[in-house]
A = this chain, B = another copy of it.
Amino acid sequence: MAWESLNPPRDYLKAGVRKPYRDVIDVSWGDPHRAGVKPLSFVRQVLAACLYPKLMEGDRLMVDVRQRAQRLLKECAGGSIGSYSNTAGIPEIVQRVSEFITRRDGGVPCRRENIFISSGSQWALNILKVLVNSEASPRTGVLTPVPCHSTTILSLMALGAAAVPYHLTEERGWALEVEELQRALDSAKGVCSPVALYVINPGNPAGYVQNRKSMQEVIRFAAEKRLFLLADEVYQDCVYGKTEFVSYKRALAEMGPPLSETVELASFHTASKGLMGECGLRAGYVELVNLDPAVMKHINSLFSTNSCAPVLGQIALDVMTNPPQPGDPSYPLYMKHIRTSLAENVRRVEEVVNSLPGFSCQPVEGGAFAFPTVFLPPKAIERAKEVGMKPDTFYCLRLLEEAGLLFSPGTEYGQKEGTYHIRFCIMIPLDVMEELLRRLSGFHKRFMKEFS
């Protein structure tokens, strides 16, 4: 198992490729707008009004859009989104985010001092700096899933931490099993000293959603081994199956003392995902739970070296956590946009992909991706070796060349030795998904024939 550290990840696929399709469908990112999803108009109207307040003259914009923009501008220093904010974010927005979290978690209280808004949730991983002692020998370790969103692994390495891989069990819908956590921890002995456990829920690239029981086991394990829990919950609004999303914060609180008062937890969220999908605005937040005040002080200074998160991104977070309510003039249109259900996409992916020979796709319960296994024929594996490529990279390259589909190979995320996967974003318009599935089916059958 290995992660290829490529930057930007998929450029090696694109370089010098002849493509029969002018319109390459790029589903190699978790980036809804890139793949054709339309931005939510309420979000964009509020942002545009804050940016260019003249738009609020007259009644071109709904009254709730104008009121929201006016309130937000009052909260910006000098009444402009062009001024720096506090390093943790505009205090009123931070306050409203904390109220959202309390509502989401059925009343489990959230303190605003524990919220830090950052330039994307990825940046917030930097809080690990307070845990990672880059001068320590052996090195600081962080337990990370296989497969795992590759940027996280790169960030950990950049921070000087070692990733200690634990495998998710594909056959059981990519389940996170405590025995495997224990095996991973044991494997670190003499290599590095693990201080944190990173979980992604809902998953990326694997689209599982953890249930309460599984989370409770993970929490108990973290408590016992004194591991800091890093819960990457950026896909919390992207749930399509039977399992509802429960935050680690809530699961922890419901377990009661002493656990609820001792397990250290960081939970990440972002404006990049969900139906908002505003990746380019770069804004996310982290909530910290049960941290020592001395550590919180360090985290405060850490954030202060980066000025503040983009103010327009902060505003998007405000809208994300406080969307229009029934009765508001923008509510009907907002709901219409939000209802663009992805469940149908997911159903079609599972149906079509599982019907193809040599493919097997676990249920996509949540997240932004499908991550099916592809059983590559020995001849294809051989050919890949000849051209010096990983077999799944070879498959993705041919897929791009011949079908104009830009997927990413499982090799980028880590996978069990001898297994191969492909990842593609499912947050795309339904018609694009149908075209994608059509191209994938045609290509795959030709490919399997060629190498049979």
- A residues contacting B by CB (< 8 A) are 5, 7-8, 26, 29, 31-37, 39, 41, 44-45, 47-48, 51-52, 55, 76-78, 80-87, 119-120, 122-123, 129, 134-135, 151, 154-155, 158, 160, 272, 277-282, 300-313
Contacts and interface: CB of A to CB of B under 8 A. Distances in A.
B8 A301 contact: no
A199 B48 CA distance: 38
Contact of A84 (B34, B81, B160, B302): B34
A83 B33 contact: yes
A125 to B, nearest CB: 8
B301 A158 contact: yes
Contact of A154 (B80, B279, B305): B305
Contact of A51 (B48, B158, B307): B48
Given A34-B83, A84-B272, 4 more contacts: A31-B77, A37-B78, A84-B280, A134-B135
Task: Specify how many copies of this chain sit in the oligomer.
Answer: 2
Q: Is the interface of A mostly helix, strand, loop or mixed?
A: loop
A281 B55 CA distance: 19
Contact of A78 (B5, B34, B120, B129): B34
A163 B104 CA distance: 45
Contacts of A120: 306-307
A291 to B, nearest CB: 16
Contacts of A158: 129, 301-302, 305
A160 to B, nearest CB: 8
Nearest to A9: B304
Contact of A87 (B8, B44, B279, B311): B8
Contact of A82 (B33, B52, B80, B83): B33
Contacts of A80: 33-34, 39, 280
Contact of A48 (B26, B52, B84): B52
Given A47-B52, A76-B280, A312-B310, A304 B8 contact: yes
Contacts of A123: 119, 306
A312 B280 contact: yes
B51 A44 contact: yes
A82 B280 contact: yes
Contact of A7 (B82, B87, B312): B87
A40 to B, nearest CB: 10
A85 B272 CA distance: 13
Contacts of A39: 80, 82
Nearest to A134: B134
A300 B31 contact: no
Given A122-B306, A280-B83, A282-B119, A78 B35 contact: yes
Contact of A306 (B44, B119, B307): B119
Contact of A312 (B33, B36, B281): B281
